[in-house]
Amino acid sequence: MRLPFRQPEEEADTVLPLINVVFLLLIFFIMTGAMHAVDYFNVNPPSSSSAIQGSLDDTVILIGSAGRIAIDNKEVDEADLQLALLDKLAANAGSVVRIKADGRVDAARVVELMELIEAVGVRRVMLLTLRPDK
């Protein structure tokens, strides 16, 4: 049995479902993804199972695997870090500082920087981690 040959429909009728799907995907990616600035250098944060929900909203200090520090996408040394934090504290007293440190960096180095941060007067310091892949 031969089916009758179908005449191709008008172009609009065939591409409309495609546009629908692409629009849906577009809306999905806009709604679910979070966009933020790229880090000054690459950091692989440690994974932790006990951590609570975190965000990247407050002041974030980057600590790279070689012990480099950056704040607000600017590489700094310890003295500059303290100055930058003092500026931030002057603007917003109860601010939270989040440390985004590489998992391979020396723990002692992170503790040393924490001491510097607390010496300036920051009260709450959080360590950013990722949920472990199971």
Binding site for other proteins (CB under 8 A): 11-12, 15, 18-19, 22-23, 25-26, 29-30, 32-36, 46-56, 98, 101-112, 114-115, 118, 124-131
d(CA 129, CA 48): 6
Q: Which is nearer to other proteins, 37 or 90 (CB)?
A: 37
Minimum distance, C-beta of residue 98 to other proteins, in the bound complex (Å): 6
| 83 vs 119, beta carbon nearer other proteins | 119
Alpha carbon distances (Å) from 98 to 8, 26, 76, 90, 122:
60, 32, 16, 17, 11
**Smallest distance from other proteins to CB 103, Å:** 4
Cβ distance to other proteins smaller for residue 74 or 104: 104
